[in-house]
Structure 1
């Protein structure tokens, strides 16, 4: 898998973190750069750590399922992508307002969000093991991509509001589904 393909997967995975970052920015009365930095660090680290954990889990089992690994990658990316598309259409979800802005970016507030937005990356890491992806460059690229997108998301949310939240989740879902199709087609000998 090329670094460009990993970059696209990183963009797709980071869209949940972007949506949460937009919500965080929307809830701010007074924007500070450190809020963007905190969001970028939490989301970037967790988005990089989860595929690494998934990769090591996948490495343990890849010998047993190497004949169908491309189907597993296709199904996992498809499920994650469809879930993101479904979430993008959910109109009931709203951004919480925090009376204390600093508490909104505290570890107590950020760690559960970072874990929740990076669970999908765990499954992607498993597919990386099956596809023999060089894991260190991949997780670094995903982490940096997520940091950048989350950093920008807080500011964008503060300036523009939640207008981009559902569009980001939709785009992320579509990217992951397309990458799943690409992996399947490559392994079936189509490209």
Structure 2
């Protein structure tokens, strides 16, 4: 594998996380850079670990992982997106106008939902004799950068559009999940 192909894999694996991070940034309302970096670290660590897990599972479990990865990603992202839509559509209370902090588990669930496909990539890399640790590190670093940027971009969108941006963020999360599902189902046909 060339350095360029490794970088392209890293960028490709982080695009779902970027879209989800924009939605998270909207929902967080005015996140600070430290919160964006925290989200980036959580997403990046998960995104780096999943191809390693996939690589370890190798050929024995490949058909089971690839048979369900798109459904798992779709379900997690759709549920998170629906929750964001619900928050965006319900009337404001005094507590809702304060900035929200997203906990570790919320960020980790979103990160896992966007990284299931990286596990399948890890399985395929087991057949290519690829430098899996290097590839996983690049995927993690690309995701860190993309998610941090996405959360901060979501901050700008949230400030400009308010609850409409949270509704849009929820729709984006659902769309990302649906795109993952569509991509896998259409590729399998």
- TM-score w.r.t. structure 2 length? 0.65
Deviates more, 1:133-142 or 1:22-31: 22-31
Aligned to 2:41: 41
Structure 2: any 5+ residue segments left out of the alignment? 89-95, 159-164
Aligned to 1:11: 11
Q: Provide the aligned C-alpha RMSD in A.
A: 3.5
1:22 Cα deviation (Å)? Answer: 0.1
Equivalent residue for 2:107, pick from 101, 106, 110: 110
- The alignment partner of 2:28 has SS state of coil
1:139 aligns with 2:119: no
1:155-166 equivalence runs, <5 A: 155-160=152-157
CA distance in 1, matches of 2:31, 2:101: 14
Greater share of helix: 2
Number of residue pairs aligned between Structure 1 and Structure 2: 150
1:117 Cα deviation (Å)? Answer: 1.3
- The one-character-per-residue Cα deviations of 1:140-185 (angstroms, maximum 9, x if unpaired) are 111000000000000111113568958x95xx97xx99xx9xxxxx
- The one-character-per-residue Cα deviations of 1:35-69 (angstroms, maximum 9, x if unpaired) are 111110011000000000111111x649xx9xxxx
1:1-191 equivalence runs, <5 A: 1-58=1-58, 61=60, 93=81, 96=84, 97=87, 99=96, 101-104=99-102, 106-160=103-157
Task: Check the 8 A contact 1:24/1:95 in 2, yes or no.
Answer: no
- TM-score w.r.t. structure 1 length? 0.64
1:11 Cα deviation (Å)? Answer: 1.3
Identify if the C-alpha distance between structure 1 residues 61 and 2 changes in structure 2 by more than 3 Å, giving closer, same or farther. farther
Task: Check the 8 A contact 1:3/1:138 in 2, yes or no.
Answer: no
Structure 1: any 5+ residue segments left out of the alignment? 66-71, 85-89, 181-191
Structure 1 segments (4+ residues) deviating >6 Å: none
